[in-house]
Amino acid sequence: MKEHKFQDARELAFHVLSQVSRPSARMRNLSATELLSRAIEASDLSKHDEALATELVYSAVRRRLTLDWVIERFSGVEIKRIEPTLLQILRLGVLQLLYIRSVPEYAAVNESVELARAALSAKAAGFANAVLRKVPSDVSAIPFPPREKDAVLHLSIVHSHPAWLIRRWVDRFGEKEAESICLANNAPPPITGRVNTLKTTRDELAAKLAREGVEAVPLDQEQMFEIVNSPKRLSQLVSFRDGLFYLQDVSATIPARLLAPRPGQKVLDLCSAPGGKATHIAELMGNRGLIVACDIDEGKMSLLRDNIQRLGTTVVRPLLAQGTQIESVLKPGFDRVLIDAPCSNTGVLRRRVEARWRLNERDLKALQQLQLRLLSSGCRVLKEGGLLVYSTCSIEREENENVVRAFLKGATDFVLLEERNLFPEEKAGDGGYVARLGKF
């Protein structure tokens, strides 16, 4: 991305959304979060405008289907016939009218019109003005498809999720639970962190954060807290740079706890980068023993090394290797193995904002095969009497229970000890799955 000193939240959001939609971003697997972070770093935005730009980008991606449905209804033009740049501007305008309550109606329209004029032409600006002035500023006034006629279509359009995904959830969980999942996926996730117990306690960290002007509250989960407000970017906090905490969802701490590692043990984290679970395991082990943190993604290994250094988890050893063939690299004898497998991310769609649009139902089968290969490889280096934890951030049965059942059919020396299905909640943790297996 060419560096540009953005000075306006809408201009920055428009730039990022234009980048996200390009095929090159998908090919390079660049996420909206990465592109937004780069743009903000290169901006002169105030903290308030940074927050607005972030909300605009994430909400525009999450609510794309809804926004496009509204644009078609009030423009009378099919989405595919609207010039891509103009479409992004219209999406931002409709988003502000319907969902961003802090933006006045006149500002949502006028700023979008000026964006269209600057980026395209006076004709495009006129079209944007005509369309946006027809859109109600109250989402309840939008004539969405009636729920009683087609519940799947209604939930898909209103909550901006692919219909195939909605259909799966309605069939498995029921209409009410499916809608609850959608609501959680469209809500901004809480910013939560894990105290680095190798360097501080939760009370000590709370005091240090308070001195930095950060408002944080403890959570019920041990060593977890939520950041309610911060005067600066979290990465700029002294307490963050000193490695006193790691930003992590509460659900993401469950796999390490179920692994129950002990000081002095030998642990393998098979899909480790960027290191949240590996460093958590090190804390639970009191930084005594050995943790081999394996990953195939060389780019993410730098993040893993940075986190190891920042948090001071000296027992973590990074290893760039193919996880599906780990038995050819490592010898048996590990006390614990964690396999936090690559997955569809359907439990964390509120964080992986574009994942719902990149995923298709066929991917689940391919992911299942990869997950089984990781289990089959990782189990070979676990010693008798050891524990293996398999986890995903998916809520799809194909990637969770079905994978574990298929694995157990061929691995007769393993037994299922415990499993948990986690569902995303608006003001709580992400969704996912965790299973603990014992080798005997």
C-beta of residue 316 within 8 angstroms of C-beta of residue 203: no
DSSP per residue, 104-151:
-HHHHHHHHHHHHHHHT-HHHHHHHHHHHTTS-SSGGGS-PPPTTT-H
Tokens of 367: 């992911």
C-beta of residue 133 within 8 angstroms of C-beta of residue 90: no
**C-alpha dihedral (261, 369, 21, 109), degrees to nearest 10:** -70
Q: How many other β-carbons are positioned within 10 Å of the β-carbon of residue 264? A: 12
Question: What's 308-331 look like in SS3?
Answer: HHHHCCCCEEEEECCHHHHHHCCC
Catalytic residue among 271, 294, 379, 393: 393
Q: How far apart are CA 359 and CA 347, in angstroms?
A: 13
Please return the burial class of 255, using the count of CB atoms within 10 Å of its CB with bins 0-12, 13-18 and 19+. Answer: buried
C-beta of residue 339 within 8 angstroms of C-beta of residue 326: no
Tokens of 98: 């319907």
Residue in 277, 276, 250 with CA at minimum distance from that of residue 427: 250
State yes or no: is 393 an active-site residue: yes
Active site amino acids = 393
